[in-house]
Amino acid sequence: MFFYEKRAELEQHEFMMGVELGRLAVAHDLLTDSLILVGQHGVYCASSRNPAKPALDLQAVLDGMEGAKALIQSVMEEPRCKRQGTGIIDPALNCC
């Protein structure tokens, strides 16, 4: 079902980047979109302890999604680092 819904986007990214990186790119885009939606929801579900922050459950979801996004980015950068010869990825700088 999911592959059918995102077929055009998957085909475009898989053509440009290869199957593995193309699928990771689509997953990255989906996580980004989801982070935006959860962030917007957090505006309405503020923490009772600190109204400037989202509720604790939303904070945990956001943290997990941001972590997953960072992992996907690091996997997508790995082939470029190998081509450049370093093979080392610095997650803090998001580069080789």
Q: What integer pLDDT is reported at residue 87 of this predicted model?
A: 57
Residue 95 lies in a domain: no
Residue 89 lies in a domain: no
Domains held by the chain: number: 1
pLDDT digits (tens, 9 = 90+) for 32-79: 999 998 888 877 777 778 877 778 888 889 899 999 999 999 888 888
pLDDT digits (tens, 9 = 90+) for 13-38: 999 999 999 999 999 999 999 999 88
Residue 45 lies in a domain: yes
CA dihedral 75, 58, 29, 69 (to 10 degrees): -10
* Residues in contact with 29: Cβ distance below 8 Å, sequence separation at least 6, in sequence order: 9
DSSP structure string for 43-92: HHSB-SS-TTSB-HHHHHHHHHHHHHHHHHHHHHHHHHHHHHT----BTT
Q: Which residue range is the domain that position 48 belongs to?
A: 2-84
Residue 96 lies in a domain: no
In which band, very low, low, confident or very high, does the pLDDT at 82 lie, cut at 50, 70 and 90?
confident
